[in-house]
Structure 1
Amino acid sequence: MKTLRQIGRVVLLLPLLWACQNYEMPPIINQTGSYLSDPSSGTSLVLNSDEPESLITFTVTSADFGMQGDVTYYLEMDEAGAGFANPVELGSSKTNVIEIQTEKLNDELIAKGLPLETASNVDFRVKSTIAQPLSPIYGETVTIAVTPYDTFVALPLMYVPGDYQGWNPGNLNTTLKSVAFNKTFTGFIHILGGSGEFKFTEEPDWVDGKNYGDSGADGTLDSEADASNIKVTEFGTYEISVDLATKTYTLSDPKLWGIIGDATSGGWDNETPMNYDKDLNVLTITTDLNAGEMKFRANKSWDFNLGPKEGALVKDGDNIPVAEAGNYTVTLNFNVPGEVSYTLTKN
């Protein structure tokens, strides 16, 4: 019986052996990525502020996907050593030459936080795609020392029209800004009047498909024409973040700012509330001040106080001196990303 069982096993294995002999392995496709050949690695590139619209020519090698197809080359860059964790796509071409506008490259370098008028190492790579069901391939990294020039960079804006500022999407001050030049916008908005309702718009006008409300009041943006307005239940200064990639937004807790100190009418015990300038998007107050000192404080709590330190207005900063008594106009400005400023003007 044992012999018969063994013969049976051999008979069962024979078809499998014949199948293995007839099986053909799929061909191995050798692929070669494209890389930047000019400028080459180790060279330098100084951007010219006198010719911001001039084109910089980048030459790339040909990629080989192992098959025929329409190939497109994309030039990407990132800070040296970042491993292309957050690459910027500068431009693309179907030829071996990619032309990038000087101003475009300069703006992207500044957005990366690289120092102005100073050479910094920047990594470049080429992403190649083909009109076939194949994944992109990337070439080797090329590092070039690039010097950006000093210039004003206009940050991408998200407009925040609402009842608090007259429903004016064209107000360039009531905006959020994308500091990283991506789809995330942040900033401070002072909702201190009206119904507390507002919306977000991608343009300084009402454009179908580019205006956002929140019909479910769940933090998710809706672009339908009849989407509900977003509404706050308390007045105050809100830090707002909008992520267009995920169509979501967040609001901080509101803060009511005022001035406090022995130079003010409330002394060091009570802040004097500031008013809202809807055109300039700043907090302001015109009032009589005594000779003494003052600071900015919110929500009657020292957890939220601002004073000057090393030229900037920061939390727990120094007191602001008022040299002589008189009538003053005081402003508090959150419009510049990452910076809070103030003015103290004697009338």
Structure 2
Amino acid sequence: MIKYLKYMFMAAIIMIAATGCQEDIEDTFSKEPAAPELVNNGTILMTKNTMSESITWAWSAARFMKGETSYTLYAQYGDAIPVQVGSSTKGLSLTLTKNEFQTLLGGVQGIPENASFDLSFYVEATDENGGYKSAAQLMTVYSYGDAVSAVLTANAADVILDITAPAEELQLLTWEAARLEYGEAITYNVYITYNGGELTEVATGLTETACSKTVDEWNELVVASGAPEAQAADVEFIVKAYSETYPEGIPSAPLSISITTYKATYPAYLLISGTDKKLPHSTVTKGLFDCFVNLESGVSFKFIDQDTQTEYGSDDVETTTDDKGNVVTSGTIGSGVITIPAGLYRISADIKFGTLQIVKINSMGMIGAATPNGWNAELPMEYDATANTYSVVTTLTQDGEYKFRANDNWGFAIDKNGDFRDGGDNMVFEKETGEYKVVLDVNSHPYTAKILSTSFPEKLYLPGAQNWNVPFTLYLGGNGEGKFEGGVNMTSNEWKFSPVTDWGQDFAGTIELNEAGYGKGVYGGSGNINTPAGYYYIQVDMTTGTFEMQRIDKVGLIGSFNDWKDDAVFVYDAEKNVWTLSDVTLTTTDEFKIRFNAAWDMNRGCEVALTPGTKIPVNQDGNNMKVAEDGNYTITVDMSTNPNTITVVK
């Protein structure tokens, strides 16, 4: 936490005054002497261009003292003997020039020269009965007497970020170059902080003496620093200068700029009122809620943010039909009710930029050089209303390009980035030429497609693992490349594999498990596979004819919230076949992972922040996870799917 001293003095005095006007509850029962409380200045900057300034320490008054009270400030470096700072005083603050403080430091053994270090400060109140010490406060001293830090200048003291120009480059600050060691190259890191909070990194390794970002990037950074959304806030910028002699960086004095942001956080989904349908928030485009929705009956609705109970509609919505019969409803986001008849629609509501588009979907096709029809005609795809996906089995040609498009219309194509738009880059089929099943998922933006080889089944069933009933229902999910995996609660000790839901193609295998419940075996042949009952994670590789099993005795959450030790343990729900952990408090700065059996050889992480209510895929050895919002969470891990998923709910 970085605070610059001369800007803290008035705040410190105000705090002292407030302290003097209130009486703790404990004072009602005790009149024992109470030590003063020292204000933590955070950082003391001592560079060549700041040595003319002063440093002020402030503290609250000691209470219930007898007779005259004096105060003495002490500083301590590591385990060295504390040294007195300045003279004792009867006041509630002490001021030294930086030159005086530097002289004082020169007499403290072990303090490094031209470096940053921590000093512990405390103030002792003394009356006729003795002394009473405050709690120690750790402050960082940047003591670079021969260096000159950067001097910052704001391009404007007050900035309003323009939501209508998010991609526009905006320069907020420049600075006079730092002067460090002669002849050494200097780079700069830029940081932002709000209300004394942690530093948020803006840019690193700059060689120029200015910092520019797009309007939207500035908005995200200011909000990430803790500043409120959609209102003005005073934030401070700090620039650190680095060179070979000063690898830890020399910070500038902070520069305050008033910045008015626009809304930057959104709910996991918008509910379509009057239905059970939800419009999920895009995982890549902030403020965009976009997916295909199948409405069984006509509806008049608004979009509802259940977190804030905010309702969104449109006051100027208009429905048109073009010469090809495409029905499009569009408008701007407002408050009016939206009415559409029954049907399948692609609904896109951009709350950030206030736009609405609803396209009635009559068909979906695949087109391009990768398909048998080339670019001349679409390959029709079949809609699965339960899964909200489209699919087709076809021969695809390696290195051929392709796209998906709705209603046989290039204005409603799905491009390489998963956007529903006119234009955009084509996708490229990179696998070997052959027969594949293509599955287009239109449940959320960006839209994604899986291309699965028909040489392998989509699912591998496990008859006997829980029962022998036909049709088989318990299965491992495949990746389209002959590999299957998932978590299974095996209540029986005899079972086998089957690529279909009935008898006729089933096969067994052989495997031996060690004491920890792990083993690797081969499949094939008749009979049954024999293993003890329990919850197992099973992986099958049809390209090698092998399978692995690991008994799962414990699923744990571990991370910075618990100092990366003592897993918070999930509870298994056999009915839902998921693992759940309740009442976990997490902040956006916490990092954490899922691990199994209190070991790291099997763990799960992911690449994106976890948004409440959104099911996110997790992978072996994935990145440390974070939540998108502070809160108290219930966390659900579904290991039965491939890939496994995690869902957090406040």
Q: Normalised by the shorter chain, which TM-score bucket? A: 0.3 to 0.5
* Greater Rg over alpha carbons, structure: 2
Structure of higher RCO (CA pairs closer than 8 Å, 6+ residues apart): 1
Could you state the TM-score of these two structures normalised by the residue count of structure 2?
Answer: 0.27
Could you state the TM-score of these two structures normalised by the residue count of structure 1?
Answer: 0.46
